[in-house]
Amino acid sequence: MTERVSHEWLEVINPATGEVFARCPAAGRVELDRAVAAARDAFPAWRARSFEDRRSAIRRMAQVLRDHQAELAELLTLEQGKPLTQSRDEIMRAATQSEGMAQISIEPEVLLDDAARHIELSYFPLGVVGIITPWNAPINLAAGPLTSALYTGNTAILKPSPYTPLTTLKLGELLREVFPPGVLAVLAGGDELGEWMTGHPGVDKISFTGSVATGKKVMASAAGTLKRVTLELGGNDAAIVLDDVDPAAIAPKLFAASFVNSGQVCMAIKRIYAHERIYDALCEALAAQARKARIGSGLDPESELGPIQNQEQYRRVLGILEDTRRSGARILAGGEPPPGPGYFFPPTIVADIDEHSRLVQEEQFGPIVPVLKFRDVEDALRRANDTRYGLSGSVWSGDIERAASIAARLEVGTAWVNQHRATSATVPFGGAKESGIGRQYSVLGLKSYMEPRVISVLK
């Protein structure tokens, strides 16, 4: 093992206390260069292995996640803040999604076979993939790109967010017994490490999950070497609730899809458009859910909602709350963050809010959600689509066909009916408009970690 040369460290804060509880090494340029060189060296042999062989390695990775679920979940809760049950779900989900993706086969396609020619389309791996992840779900959001890269024959360098590096580093350590040297490196570091990865000539693709603003920088930097990019960015998902629903019955589902991980989910519901006939009843049912939700440290088994993950995000959400108050909107539940320690913020339901306020226009990424009134479905659709975001959305109704025809007009990567936030290994996920480029999961996602190659034979 070569000595590391960077002398930088990351201090990791427990968001439930606001205190530093651990520190870990931050990689510098030298460590990145070494990891890239090792990944390039390991690439030919890894690429030469069969899909079947790499599938069994992914299965072993899934088994490692399962075997270490409790230990990884506890570390994840300590650094990320979410309740332990949600951390356990995240680890388990990473395992099942990975296994599910490695079941997909990528076969050559015969495009033409006639007397004169045989033309075939096949796919080959790109080389070294740089994977950059955010702080809201570090393991689940690493698992998709990691499996896609490694299963399709690439090698990978994974960089977690400086706010949540520990669980990913721990996973990297555990995976040393699964993948040969050089095939996977986990490097923790600050934002500058991400920048170096996106500009590095030895990296062939970047899979980035994070904010729209950073996604644009990633794309600009990747252009220097024409790296392939998959960008999974922010969202401002609308749920359109039609006049024929039972507000009491759907409120718990809407509440869960809005407030899971304290709203820090790319595809959480971030705006609820409710028909005027059920508006008041739905607002009240959502407020009742918010009032009874228990918030506290993620390590406390009673907690349903943990803190906001970091101070910067906590302050942003506070700013949005102040803007909401100033706008004259009605705060039906929550709205009074407790005094410290920790970045706790109660689930907050807002009614009668101006469409142009920050809470409606921006991605709040926190536990505060507006409920907006509509009379005419066309108007609801126009307002739902009136945004540069286009990650996902949903329509809720007793009439599935009617809801599906409205959902089909949402300008998003995924439109759900009577559900929100349902994804799976075989279904592509990603954003329209500024919510991203490309898709993760499914055969579509896997192929984006490969280059198509046509072989055309003149007979």
Catalytic center residues: 232, 266
Candidates 63-71, 129-137, 222-230, 348-356 — which segment interacts with ligand NAD by CB under 6 A?
A: 129-137
Does the footprint of ligand NAD cover residue 307 (CB under 6 A)?
A: no
Q: Which is nearer to ligand NAD, 247 or 445 (CB)?
A: 445
Cβ atoms of 147 and 97 within 8 Å: the answer is yes
Of 20-59, binders to ligand NAD (CB under 6 A) are none
Cβ atoms of 274 and 336 within 8 Å: the answer is no
- The distance of closest approach from Cβ of residue 247 to ligand NAD in the complex, given in angstroms and rounded to an integer, is 28
Candidates 43-51, 75-83, 98-106, 133-141 — which segment interacts with ligand NAD by CB under 6 A?
A: 133-141
Q: What is the DSSP string of 158-212?
A: EE--TTS-HHHHHHHHHGGGTS-TTSEEE----HHHHHHHHH-TT--EEEEES-H
Candidates 6-14, 31-39, 191-199, 289-297 — which segment interacts with ligand NAD by CB under 6 A?
A: 191-199
Cα–Cα distance, 368 to 370 (Å, whole number): 7
Candidates 49-57, 130-138, 350-358, 395-403 — which segment interacts with ligand NAD by CB under 6 A?
A: 130-138
Q: Which is nearer to ligand NAD, 305 or 403 (CB)?
A: 305
Q: Where are the beta strands (DSSP E) in 334-406?
A: 348-351, 368-374, 392-396
> What's the number of CA atoms in the CB half-sphere (13 Å) around residue 285?
18
Burial state string for 191-220 with b = 16 or more CB within 10 A and e = fewer than 16: eebbbbbbbbebbbbbbbbbebebbebbbe
Cα–Cα distance, 134 to 407 (Å, whole number): 29
Cβ atoms of 383 and 273 within 8 Å: the answer is yes
Q: Which is nearer to ligand NAD, 132 or 250 (CB)?
A: 132
Of 239-268, binders to ligand NAD (CB under 6 A) are 266
Cα–Cα distance, 400 to 411 (Å, whole number): 19
Secondary structure (3-state) at 422: coil
Does the footprint of ligand NAD cover residue 132 (CB under 6 A)?
A: yes
Cβ atoms of 366 and 346 within 8 Å: the answer is no
Burial state string for 18-29 with b = 16 or more CB within 10 A and e = fewer than 16: beeeeebbbbbe
Does the footprint of ligand NAD cover residue 156 (CB under 6 A)?
A: no
- Which of 393, 436, 438, 445 binds ligand NAD (CB under 6 A)? It is 436
Does the footprint of ligand NAD cover residue 161 (CB under 6 A)?
A: yes
The DSSP 8-state label assigned to residue 251 in this structure reads H
Q: Write down how long the chain is.
A: 459
Does the footprint of ligand NAD cover residue 232 (CB under 6 A)?
A: yes
- Which of 34, 88, 118, 217 binds ligand NAD (CB under 6 A)? It is 217
Does the footprint of ligand NAD cover residue 234 (CB under 6 A)?
A: yes
What would the two tokens of residue 115 be? 């007397």
- Which of 214, 297, 303, 364 binds ligand NAD (CB under 6 A)? It is 214
Q: Which is nearer to ligand NAD, 27 or 372 (CB)?
A: 27
Does the footprint of ligand NAD cover residue 433 (CB under 6 A)?
A: no
Does the footprint of ligand NAD cover residue 342 (CB under 6 A)?
A: no
Candidates 31-39, 56-64, 227-235, 244-252 — which segment interacts with ligand NAD by CB under 6 A?
A: 227-235
Q: Which is nearer to ligand NAD, 18 or 190 (CB)?
A: 190
Which residues here bind ligand NAD, judged by CB under 6 A? 132-136, 141, 159, 161-162, 191, 194-195, 198, 209-211, 214, 217-218, 232-235, 266, 363, 365, 391, 431, 436
